[in-house]
Amino acid sequence: MKFEYKKIISTILLLAVTFTLGYGFAIYRYGFSTLPITRFTIGTIKNNYIEGIEDEKIAKGIVQSLGDPFSIYLTEDEYKSFQTNISNNYVGVGIIITKINEKVKIVRVLNNSPAERAGITQGSEITKVNGILTNGKDLESVSSLIRGPENSEVTLTIVNDTIERDFTLKREKIEIETVNGEIIAPGIAYIRILSFNMGTDREFNKILNSLLKESPKGLILDLRDNGGGILEVTANIAKRFLQDGMTLFYIKEKDKEPQPQYINECDPINIPTMVIVNKGSASASEVLAGAIKDNKAGRIIGEETFGKATIQRIFNVPFSGGAIKLTIQKYLTPDKHDLSSKGLKPDIFFSDLSSNIDPKNDNVIKKAISLLTEN
């Protein structure tokens, strides 16, 4: 009996030591030294706030308190919407949105979509979705409001040239074509990438290889209003412009010096290239354009880009189905330019960047063709 008693005591002590060591490691590994303050604050709110509050609202508030517009807490529905955003098909009304000066703007209206058929135009502002104000909401939240079941309806309040109007649209299956291209002038190939979604690199290579069969003497790569997307996809596309061993960008992590990210297994086209950008070119677009510019693989024409130089990682939240999209890194161009809030400066400034339905009548494309032809 005494032996059993001692065995039980020994087991309890062992568990206590294990727990203490494990808890100590967690504090060291995850920086939980301030956890009691956070736990007390959350507990006080949960137990005493007059209205009551859901856990996810508190979580959203914590992430929002960082003051970083790209770090957000996603509910289960918002996370599903986010995952849909980076795929090539979804159910919606056929618009791509971004946030400019805290306003939700339409940067692209997809061909043959409910939005196009209703007469909604690029550049318009969305102020409400089903009567809910978009002001103060992040893009994923607005996207999740716009998306919904096939054949259901959504009402968008649109402001264009100070005129406000409601559009009630029926949602339908939308397939996003992220890449298109053609021979635009004798000896000049043209490719436009609209976003870096899953499969965009394969689509890009298929179109590029087809155009290369025509033996073009120059290429125009159009990244206007491309808000970015998947970094790995962008790196795969960069392999068609850069040489093995070149720097794609520098990574700056918390409390560490910037580290170069080299690119290998390249298959460069080795023809003169002009890249068109505008203020809607952001994130992964800036990575690609910056790598081409700094590695002298091509020239940039247009205006200063958006200036999003941060990289986010998704952390799944246990038991909720939601996720935290958190900024964990900053990137610098190969020449170590920090694009935060500044954007990438083009080699050739060009202000007439309004996109024409017919690329052959687009003024900036005409300029790019003339520059390539001169060379």
Active site residues: 283, 294, 308
Q: Are 89 and 173 in contact (CB under 8 A)?
A: yes
Query: Euclidean distance between the first and final Cα of the chain, in Å?
Result: 95
Distance CA 347, CA 371 (A): 12
C-beta neighbour count of 13 within 10 angstroms? 10
- Structure token digits, residue 216: 């073009």
Give just the sign of the alpha carbon dihedral 179, 346, 108, 229: positive
Dihedral pair phi/psi, residue 3, rounded to 5°: -60, -45
CA angle in degrees (0–180, nearest 5) for 174-178-182? 125
Distance CA 285, CA 114 (A): 27
